[in-house]
Amino acid sequence: MKKRILIADFVETLLIKGLEERSFEVLYEPRISLAEVRALAGSLSGIVINTRTPVDREIMEAAPNLEWVARLGSGLDIIDLTEARKREIVVFNTPEGNANAVAEHLLGMLLSLANNICRANHEMRSLEWHREKNRGWELSEKTVGIIGFGNTGSAFARVLEGFQCKILAFDKYKQHYSEGYRFVEELGTLEDVVKSADVVSLHLPLTDETRQMADSQFFSTLKKGVVFCNTSRGGIVNTASLTGFLESGYLKGACLDVFENEKPKSWSQAEAEIFSTLSKMENVVLTPHVAGWTKESKIKIAKTFLKKLDKII
């Protein structure tokens, strides 16, 4: 009897075919609800998810035959890792597959912010021709601080190489990670990075340690005039604090692809007001958690997933 696998989000066809070639029965249900996942859980040996389907203790309790959970992409915060370890369920992700996509997207956001591209594009469509108003600034020779030097942090460093930036990096859980990156300076503390950087970019997982890390105290340690970037997880940032530092002019701008609450229909009045303020700021570039969302990354993620799966089956 074939082991049954649920794919609970949209994936590249080669991933489905790859599972079938490995003799799995594949249930491809990209629009499945959480209640429907729980109802199916008892028959599953594996679950493939992206961002819309959390695998919590309740699902694991309903899935006595569950052997593994695969997260397409990087963040594991939607999986109950403690419960998975308790039940000896293998959990793996595929951050290698979309790291370059995130890096290129972030670079695009930064260049758009620096050169007022979003505003100028909007004005030109209304036949408004403002040159001096849209004079930009160059990324070249700026100091960029990268917090977290894993897959996306290192990929961002690579795309910056041609801009002749001074790159400072900090990763609490790594040493000698800048080897092979001759243009990256590895510093010993977070404070050493942020006190000198013109651009600060977060590349961290969401954990108990990093949740709300970027709060008022954090922003006050940055030098005035910094551009703040987050393409990792929204929960790392206290959005109210960030908005306050932008409104005061202490921060020069922000590039945000992720948010504390990414379901607008569930926003509280306070959350809606904060986002409304952010969305009206011309020194802020916003995108809907799509930094790693490219046609190429979809294929790379599928290939990475299958390679990792082969190591555990």
Q: Is 262 assigned a catalytic role?
A: yes
User: From CA 44, how far away is CA 68, in angstroms rounded?
Assistant: 10
Q: Give me the sign of the Cα torsion angle 119, 125, 131, 132.
A: negative
Q: Locate 157 and state its tokens.
A: 């460093």
Neighbours of 248 (CB within 10 A): 10
Q: Is 119 assigned a catalytic role?
A: no
Residue 27 near residue 6, CB atoms below 8 Å: yes
Q: Is 85 assigned a catalytic role?
A: no
**Which of 29, 36, 262, 271 is an active site residue?**
262
Q: Phi and psi for 68 in degrees, rounded to 5? A: -155, 155
**Which of 4, 22, 119, 289 is an active site residue?**
289
CA angle, 238 then 78 then 285, to 5°: 40
For residue 17, the surrounding DSSP H or E stretch is helix 13-21
Residue type, 311: K
Residue 246 near residue 283, CB atoms below 8 Å: yes
User: From CA 7, how far away is CA 17, in angstroms rounded?
Assistant: 12
**Which of 71, 105, 203, 233 is an active site residue?**
233
Active site residues: 233, 262, 289
